[in-house]
Chains A and B, each alone.
Chain A
Amino acid sequence: MTAPADAPVTTDAIPTMTVTLKILRFDPDGLDGREPGTEYWEEFQIEAHATDRVLDALHMIKWEQDGTLAFRRSCAHGVCGSDAMRINARNRLACKTLLKDLNPAKPIMVEPIKGLPVEKDLIVDMEPFFASYREIMPFLMTSGPTPERERLQSPEDRERYDDTTKCILCAACTTSCPVFWTDGQYFGPQAIVGAHRFIFDSRDEGEWDRLEILNDKAGVWKCRTAFNCTEACPRGIEVTKAISEVKHALNTGEI
């Protein structure tokens, strides 16, 4: 078996190539005589097509060579946010990164995302990340009686926050942020994106509650405009722009 289960049938004729992956592993159980908690690099070689995804490559390793390799994945096409990891030292989704975009002649380095506690291999504890998201009250807040039909919103007002509705909570942004790595106190860019989505929604009335939270010392002022988040976002969200808009709202009181 050389092709992954879901390799494109149309590329059958295209020759495969040998690709090396170096994976930073973490063994929580201490199997095969390792100390529990051992971290080590391991090298794997696979036969793959240039159009295969890094996720396919990881599957080939897991399914044919080493079943103990652990990583999260689900949708396999960049919409569920399960498989953010550091590939060649940059945060990406394994399922949205094709081998041909990576120079497969050199070993491909795969590591867990940085700044969250590693649980096993490429799996990290997402709880602190989701806790920050919950902190910014990511739900519509309104007052007054609920209307009978929909709340009206013009297409322009809808457009205002469109970008930040795309977020799939993959954590690629937050775990690429150098400020987040340093102390882990920072809410991180995702939480600001999540807040932005409601702050700039014309229907929402909780904007000042959220802005006040982001005004905190773990909030938006910690951002040093390093832009790693914007570069890392697999949904192409202009994260730094969203953060800037929140800063602007706090400074001017205008939304």
Chain B
Amino acid sequence: MATEHEFDVVIVGAGGAGMRAALESSQRAKTAVITKLYPTRSHTGAAQGGMAAALANVEDDNAEWHTFDTIKGGDYLVDQDAAEILCNEAIDAVLDLEKMGLPFNRTPEGRVDQRRFGGHTRNHGEAAVRRACYAADRTGHMILQTLYQQCIKQEVEFFNEFYVLDLILDGDPQAAGEDGEVAAAGVVAYSLQTGEVHTFRAKSVIFATGGAGKVFKTTSNAHTLTGDGMGIALRAGIPLEDMEFFQFHPTGLAGLGILLSEAARGEGGILRNSEGERFMERYAPTIKDLAPRDMVARAMANEVREGRGCGPHKDYVLLDLTHLEPSHIDEKLPDITEFARTYLGVEPYTEPVPVYPTAHYAMGGIPTNVQGEVLRDNTHVVKGLYAAGECACVSVHGANRLGTNSLLDINVFGRRAGIAAAEYAVATAETPALPADASAQIEGLVASLRETVGGEGTERVAQIRKELQETMDRNVQVFRTAESLAEAHAVVKDLQERYKAIAIHDRGTRFNTDLLEAIELGFLLELSEVVIAGAEARKESRGGHYREDFPTRDDENFMQHTMAYKRADGTVDLDWKPVVVTKYQPMERKY
């Protein structure tokens, strides 16, 4: 029988979003944080460049310009009310972190220093502005550490190395209709250490499980970013929004995907092709190398496609930092230059670094309103269910996230979700009861996977994952066409079939990572299908989604979000949801 726990608020995930929510929630209600990694291992710690806020510490700036940049950067698919909140609350979000002790870099006057970042401009696109608050090139590391430290101070209760595998709802989100009510009841988790299944009964549940970069092969994301939260929500009948929008970061270490922050270009780094040309001058004459990521990534892929790539296979371009002072590099970009040295053996002081776009960020995710409440359709919320961070889609990033807006997102909406979840829990007298068989499904799943050990299953988890990731890289990356998507779709369908015949190796109970990799692959397979389905339906090019067969943006038909539902029979259905427009009418995105 599963071990049972009861809390007011259960937070799934201890990255930036999860811990920011926990700091709020734990002050107001009995809170547990369940995380499959030790909190400090979360991938927020990998974020490098900075966190945007119009502090105006070094240059004239304001939240309205920031809002505009966010909306334009997101290719007008941004919900503008949410973007306004994001940018207005940004300033306090940064100041809050500073007050919690975050060691930001400082200006000579002792204020939080700021630097340039792609797509962030002064006065609606006039010139690049210094808006990103940073701590060398380890801003995310500092955020994660600072939040964890505050959680220690507040004695937040963590369940480390617990994998949440199921969400229990009171009611069926797809059958509830207009007046029905659906509420969160709790989650089911698997303890890596003991192999036991635990149930957590709760009035509020917050998902903050991060991204899903591992659907691709070349990615800046951690091995553990397998989109569990999104997958669990989808299986529970909740739609996923805008999943076709995946950000490919221009400067991943070639072949490895390890990220070199945009800060490298913010500090003056230049992209060059095999002819040594600063090719971004052709694609974005005004802000050149600091154009939004989707444009730079496409430009790079295009250079390679047209034969101007570098290296023996002509399959990457170069990031040139050699004209920068070594001392400046050491001060502002110490870690990423270290990556180039360690993994490629390249000395950035004197040699340009091979780079190529890498799958980086999921713009889409679990749809929420600005309070972090999860939507079960275009308008209705699931009571007591919240999502924040990369796994959520408030839609502040639209079709393309601006650099440094995600660390902002996790702080602003993590905080909002934490407050809202706790307040809801406090206002709700009764903790919904968990059905007696709440844990049965996961116990069954675990048991059936254990039984595949030594059975007749012929398929290997690693092999299927590899084929999936290669297909996604080949067909669903920077350039997409109807054919490439159809091919990917077929492959994914086939892999889903083959997944049913997998056999794992480890039947043990303690630290059975073999078993969990198999479960994680299940999420990846489902999410890939949603990504592809959205990409097929979106017959236009917008932000991170570029269809070679439909190379322009089509506001007439597609200025709306996709909502993907998984039906009981396993098929994925798409619906559309309007974009919230307040002040800014779509115009062409030129830089």
- Expressed in whole angstroms, the minimum distance between the Cβ of A34 and any Cβ of chain B is 11
Q: How far apart are the CA atoms of A126 and B158 in the complex, in Å?
A: 14
CA of A73 to CA of B512, assembled, Å: 14
Q: In the bound complex, do residue B106 and residue A154 qualify as a contact, i.e. CB atoms below 8 Å apart? A: yes
Measured between C-beta atoms, what is the minimum distance from A178 to chain B in Å? 25
B41 an interface residue at 8 Å Cβ cutoff?
yes
Closest residue of chain B to A60 (Cβ to Cβ) is B462
Q: A82 with B37: in contact, given A77-B339, A77-B343, A162-B103 (CB under 8 Å)? A: yes
Secondary structure dominating the interface of A: loop
Residues in A neighbouring B37, C-beta threshold 8 A: 74, 80, 82
* Known A28-B508, A70-B511; contact A80-B257, beta-carbon cutoff 8 A: no
Q: Which of the listed residues A62, A75, A138, A168 has the most CB atoms from chain B within 10 Å of its own CB?
A: A75
Q: Is there an interface contact between B510 and A140, defined as CB atoms closer than 8 Å?
A: no
Q: How far is the CA of A198 from the CA of B101 in the complex (A)?
A: 9
Closest to A149 in B: B95
Q: How far is the CB of A51 from chain B (nearest CB, A)?
A: 8
From B151, which residue of chain A is reached at the shortest CB distance? Answer: A139
Taking the complex as formed, is A134 at the interface, i.e. its CB lies under 8 A from any CB of chain B? Answer: yes
- What is the minimal beta-carbon distance from A116 to any residue of chain B, in angstroms? 13
Give A126 to B160 CA distance when docked, in angstroms: 11
Q: Is A229's beta carbon under 8 Å from chain B?
A: no
Q: Is B570 among interface residues, defined by CB-CB distance under 8 A? A: no
Kindly provide the distance from the CB of A4 to the nearest chain B CB, expressed in whole angstroms.
9
Do B41 and A67 have beta carbons less than 8 Å apart?
Answer: no
Interface centre among B136, B152, B512, B513 (most CB of A within 10 A): B513
**Assuming A70-B511, A96-B342, A120-B510, is B313 touching A169 (CB within 8 A)?**
no
Looking at the assembled complex, report how far the CB atom of A98 sits from the nearest CB atom of chain B, in whole angstroms.
Answer: 7
Give the contacts of A65-111 with B (CB-CB under 8 A). Answer: 66-68, 70-82, 96, 98
* B43 within 8 A of partner (CB): yes
Chain B residues positioned under 8 Å from A153 (CB to CB): 106, 110
A35 within 8 A of B: no
Q: Which residues of chain B are within 8 angstroms of A68 by Cβ–Cβ distance? A: 505-506, 508, 514
> How far is the CB of B499 from the nearest CB of chain A, in Å?
15
Chain A hits for B274, CB < 8 A:
none
Supposing A10-B354, A154-B110 touch, asked if A81 and B342 sit within 8 A by C-beta, the answer is: no
* Number of A-B residue pairs having CB atoms within 8 Å of each other in the complex: 189
Closest to B37 in A: A74
Distance between Cα atoms of A71 and B514 in the complex (Å): 10
Contacts of A67 in B (CB 8 A): 461, 504-506, 514
User: B120-128, B137-145, B422-430, B432-440: which lies at the A interface?
Assistant: B137-145
Q: Hey, which chain B residues are within 8 Å of A151, CB to CB?
A: 98-99
Q: Does A11 contact B (CB under 8 A)?
A: yes
Give the shortest distance, in Å, between A235 (CB) and chain B (any CB): 9
> Is B112 located at the chain interface by the 8 A CB criterion?
yes
Instruction: Confirm or deny: A209 has a beta carbon within 8 angstroms of a beta carbon on chain B.
Output: no
CB of A39 within 8 A of chain B? no
Question: Which residues, 102 to 144 on A, are CB-close (under 8 Å) to B?
Answer: 119-121, 123, 126, 130, 133-134, 137-140
B505 — which chain A residues lie within 8 A by C-beta? 66-68
A5 at the interface (CB under 8 A from B): yes
- Cβ-based interface call for A40 (8 A): no
Q: Whole-angstrom distance between the alpha carbons of A64 and B465 in the complex?
A: 12
Closest to A76 in B: B223
- Interface flag for A31 (CB, 8 Å): yes
Is A63 close to B, CB under 8 A?
yes
- Inter-chain pairs besides A150-B104, A161-B103, 12 sampled, C-beta below 8 Å: A6-B256, A9-B255, A12-B313, A13-B312, A31-B506, A62-B462, A68-B506, A70-B511, A77-B256, A126-B38, A140-B100, A155-B105
A residues near B, CB below 8 A?
1, 5-13, 27-29, 31, 51, 53, 62-64, 66-68, 70-82, 96, 98, 119-121, 123, 126, 130, 133-134, 137-140, 146-147, 149-155, 158, 161-162, 165-169, 198, 201, 203-204
The 5 A-B pairs with the shortest beta carbon distances in the complex, nearest first, are: A67-B505, A140-B101, A8-B255, A63-B462, A152-B110
